[in-house]
Amino acid sequence: MKHAGFLVVLLLVSGCGKPGRDTVAEAEALLLQGKAEEAARMFDVACSYAPEGEKCASSDRRAAEVRLEAAEKAMSAGQFLAAQRLLILAFSTPDGATAQKAKDRLGSDDLIQGIGYERALALGKTQQAQKAIEAVAAMKIPAAALAKAWLDKERSAIVLGTVKAACGPKPEGSCSKAAADLRAAAIAGPESEEAIALAEAEERRVYPLRVNAETFLQNFAAVAARDALIEVCMVPGNIMAGGFSEDSPGAICVNHGLTPGHCMPLPDVEEQLQKHRVNETVWRRTMTSIADPELVTALEVRKKKAREFTALDRKFDKLDIPKPKPAPKTTGGKK
């Protein structure tokens, strides 16, 4: 019963002509008109009209071959998802050699990456789309030319959109990086000016937070250097090893108010631990307020270095943060 129903559908799709209809000839005619997919469908129903005909045996293979050719044309036109659909249909043929060709093509890099390119297009003019398409553009496949052309055309729009998303009231991504990319791109026009204004406003917002973070880094480094010195001064053997020269451990300890065998009183230890906890809490809040992944990552790296700082004769390197451009003056008056 199921096979009978399927046959009825095939007959309806094909136009439901009289028995004995030569759909193979019709398919060949459609091929001459460049209508490959329609031709493949006519080859599909050849046996439904003439199951005993000599053309029936090869019609299924011909349908698959036509779809293989159509898939190649679709890929050349950048229609990779359409090509995939055609290859899947071609793979269903009982002809083993033709099915293998379809299988090999379905697994080919140029088709797989082309599908990735076409799906990336559906993401719109976004950074996510840009990253995916840049990966395709870097490959030696047919889709690379299409990817490069798209990037050349849409890069400015992507940069502008990224700045607006990263520097807006609900930031998505790093405003500092997006602003740097925008300035490097040297895009002109009203949209660019609007995006730069957003970036400059964000720079003014995070400037005092970044300055505070730099102060914290200096404090972290000073505490780390002091703690390292205390560890040395706590061991009498370390003190005596260098004698009493000016740069000996003993002299350094004394010059910093520490005596050989120094042991910090328990109340002082508890006070230092409390300061450490408070500083860590404030640091985390500052990072949360900055809310720029690029800046926060860089600050966390420098914090790690500050925690490992042991030099007593110099300060931890302080980053010179450029002052942001002042906010534009607004004009107005009483009505």
pLDDT, one tens digit per residue, over 83-95 is 999 999 999 898 8
Instruction: Determine whether 54 is exposed, middle or buried from the number of CB atoms within 10 Å of its CB (0-12, 13-18, 19+).
Output: exposed
When pLDDT is cut at 50, 70 and 90, the band that residue 264 belongs to is low
- Measured CA to CA, the distance from residue 185 to residue 78 in angstroms comes to 28
Choose the most confident range, by mean pLDDT, from 119-133, 162-176, 260-274: 162-176
> How is residue 8 written in tokens?
């009825």
The three-state secondary structure class of 333 is coil
pLDDT (mean) for 77-88: 93
Mark whether 124 and 177 lie in a shared domain: yes
Mark whether 56 and 74 lie in a shared domain: yes
pLDDT (mean) for 254-260: 61
Mark whether 288 and 214 lie in a shared domain: yes
Q: Within a domain: residue 147?
A: yes
Mark whether 192 and 211 lie in a shared domain: no
Instruction: Determine whether 160 is exposed, middle or buried from the number of CB atoms within 10 Å of its CB (0-12, 13-18, 19+).
Output: buried
Q: Which of 263, 264, 266, 262 shows the shortest CA–CA distance to 253?
A: 262
Choose the most confident range, by mean pLDDT, from 68-82, 136-150, 252-266: 68-82
Judged against a pLDDT cut of 60, whether residue 183 lies above it is answered with yes
Task: Please indicate whether residue 197 or residue 279 has the higher confidence score (pLDDT).
Answer: 197
Among the three residues 196, 217, 235, which one is the final residue of a domain in this structure?
196
pLDDT (mean) for 19-37: 85
Amino acid of residue 324: P
When pLDDT is cut at 50, 70 and 90, the band that residue 287 belongs to is very high
- Measured CA to CA, the distance from residue 61 to residue 328 in angstroms comes to 72
Q: Within a domain: residue 109?
A: no
> How is residue 74 written in tokens?
């679709």
% of the chain at pLDDT higher than 90: 34
pLDDT tens-digit series, residues 46-60: 888 888 777 888 889
Q: Within a domain: residue 2?
A: no
Contact between 218 and 318 under an 8 Å Cβ cutoff? The reply is yes
> How is residue 301 written in tokens?
């790296």
Q: Which of 225, 230, 177, 172 shows the shortest CA–CA distance to 203?
A: 177
Which residue range is the domain that position 218 belongs to? 205-307
Among the three residues 35, 67, 95, which one is the final residue of a domain in this structure?
95
In the block, which residue shows the tokens 């008056």? 333
Mark whether 210 and 303 lie in a shared domain: yes
Q: Within a domain: residue 20?
A: yes
Contact between 70 and 86 under an 8 Å Cβ cutoff? The reply is yes
Specify the pTM.
Answer: 0.59
Supply the pLDDT for residue 214. Answer: 94
> How is residue 333 written in tokens?
């008056």
Q: Within a domain: residue 104?
A: no
When pLDDT is cut at 50, 70 and 90, the band that residue 275 belongs to is confident
When pLDDT is cut at 50, 70 and 90, the band that residue 151 belongs to is confident
Mark whether 262 and 302 lie in a shared domain: yes
Q: Classify residue 308 by its DSSP letter.
A: T
- Measured CA to CA, the distance from residue 113 to residue 143 in angstroms comes to 7
Question: Based on the structure, what is the number of domains in the chain?
Answer: 3
Supply the pLDDT for residue 215. Answer: 92
Instruction: Determine whether 122 is exposed, middle or buried from the number of CB atoms within 10 Å of its CB (0-12, 13-18, 19+).
Output: exposed
Contact between 40 and 63 under an 8 Å Cβ cutoff? The reply is yes
Q: Within a domain: residue 332?
A: no
pLDDT (mean) for 73-92: 93
pLDDT (mean) for 121-147: 84
When pLDDT is cut at 50, 70 and 90, the band that residue 159 belongs to is confident
Q: Within a domain: residue 67?
A: yes
CA torsion angle for 87, 93, 95, 97 (degrees, to 10)? 20
Mark whether 222 and 302 lie in a shared domain: yes
Among the three residues 196, 221, 240, which one is the final residue of a domain in this structure?
196
Supply the pLDDT for residue 70. Answer: 94
pLDDT tens-digit series, residues 199-255: 999 999 999 999 999 999 999 998 888 888 777 676 665 555 555 555 665 566 766
When pLDDT is cut at 50, 70 and 90, the band that residue 15 belongs to is very low
> How is residue 328 written in tokens?
């534009």
Contact between 215 and 229 under an 8 Å Cβ cutoff? The reply is no
Q: Within a domain: residue 320?
A: no
Supply the pLDDT for residue 255. Answer: 63
The backbone torsions φ and ψ at residue 37, rounded to the nearest 5 degrees and listed phi first, read -65, -40
Contact between 156 and 148 under an 8 Å Cβ cutoff? The reply is no
